[in-house]
């Protein structure tokens, strides 16, 4: 079958999804091992039968709801191609808001940054790619996810140390200019857990107690011991949680607390500046 015909057929088969045209192109490029530009430049390319069979299998899995990132084993984030797996969250574009906010507030010159619950390493690796002189650490509780983050760092040639453990526990005695995190923040009763890609992602990376706020409370209460005076804490959270997260930050002594919106206009990232213990 000609590439143009197969492309049109795939889009029709995937109709009804959130982005059938994009999904079709991503799967095509994955199976053909070609860039997206190839699809436009070579519409008369004859796709071998074996690759058509592979595509059919992937389309069937996608129609069953399996995320495209799991089908291809990768997802782009901040122009970095990351390996993904069912052991981690799939990096999402809205998390780039957190990266942008972090870059805007890091001090000039080499800084020390830690990403808590790093998953694929997306946030930590993005920051390191933009600020190669910074010391960037990452912490991950899930051993398989930690190994995946290390693979991503090695493949991208970015020196990010990944430590295994729960939140700030592996960082005894260390202080940072910034702490960033995209922790679990979904309530266990949220109906969205039964919808879309999150059905295939680990609940441990999605769900937190206390209406989704337990891990954010934990991080905010312990972050001051690991921040220099003037250091920042930034966390991603649910679109309805900004008021509660701001209160948590303020109760723990953070100043200049504010919330930033994601690309869809929803509250997504709350940040605060630690003034130093003498002001707490």
55-70 pLDDT per residue, tens? 888 988 888 888 888 8
- Do 3-64 and 87-279 fold alike per CATH? no
For the chain, the domains span 3-64, 87-279
- Cβ-contact 125, 153 below 8 angstroms: yes
| pLDDT at residue 157 in the model | 97
Listed in order, strand segments (DSSP E) in the chain are 74-77, 80-83, 112-116, 135-140, 160-164, 176-181, 227-236, 255-261, 267-273
Rounded CA Rg of the chain: 21
Indicate whether 280 pLDDT > 50.
no
For the segment(s) 87-279, the CATH number from 3.10.20.30, 1.10.10.10, 3.40.50.150, 3.30.565.10 is: 3.40.50.150
pTM: 0.86
Encode pLDDT of 125-181 as tens digits.
999 999 999 999 999 999 999 999 999 999 999 999 999 999 999 999 999 999 999
In this predicted structure, the answer to whether residue 196 has a pLDDT above a threshold of 80 is no
Q: What is the CATH number of domain 3-64?
A: 1.10.8.10
Q: How far apart are CA 121 and CA 98, in angstroms?
A: 14
Q: What is the pLDDT of residues 233-252, one digit of tens each?
A: 999 998 889 999 999 999 99
């Amino acid at each position: 079958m000609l590439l143009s015909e197969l492309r049109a057929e795939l889009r029709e088969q995937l109709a009804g999804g959130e982005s059938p045209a994009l999904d079709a192109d991503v799967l095509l490029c994955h199976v053909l091992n070609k860039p997206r530009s190839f699809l436009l430049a070579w519409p008369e390319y004859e796709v071998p039968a074996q690759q058509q069979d592979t595509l059919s299998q992937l389309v069937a899995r996608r129609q069953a709801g399996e995320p495209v990132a799991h089908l291809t084993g990768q997802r782009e984030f901040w122009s970095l191609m990351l390996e993904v797996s069912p052991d981690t969250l799939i990096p999402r574009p809205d998390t780039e808001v957190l990266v942008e906010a972090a870059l805007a507030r890091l001090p000039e010159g080499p800084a020390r940054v830690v990403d808590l619950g790093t998953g694929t390493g997306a946030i930590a690796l993005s920051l390191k790619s933009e600020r190669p002189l910074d010391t960037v650490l990452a912490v991950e509780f899930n051993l398989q996810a930690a190994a995946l983050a290390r693979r991503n760092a090695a493949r991208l040639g970015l020196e990010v140390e990944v430590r295994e453990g729960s939140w700030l526990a592996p960082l005894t005695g260390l202080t940072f200019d910034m702490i960033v995190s995209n922790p679990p923040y979904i309530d266990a009763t949220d109906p969205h857990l039964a919808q879309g890609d999150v059905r295939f992602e680990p609940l441990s990376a999605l769900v937190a107690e206390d209406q989704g706020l337990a891990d954010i409370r934990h991080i905010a209460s312990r972050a001051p011991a690991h921040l220099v005076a003037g250091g920042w804490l930034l966390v991603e959270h649910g679109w309805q949680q900004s008021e509660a997260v701001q209160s948590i930050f303020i109760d723990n002594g953070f100043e200049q607390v504010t919330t930033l919106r994601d690309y869809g206009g929803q509250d997504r990232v709350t940040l605060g500046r630690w003034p130093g213990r003498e002001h707490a």
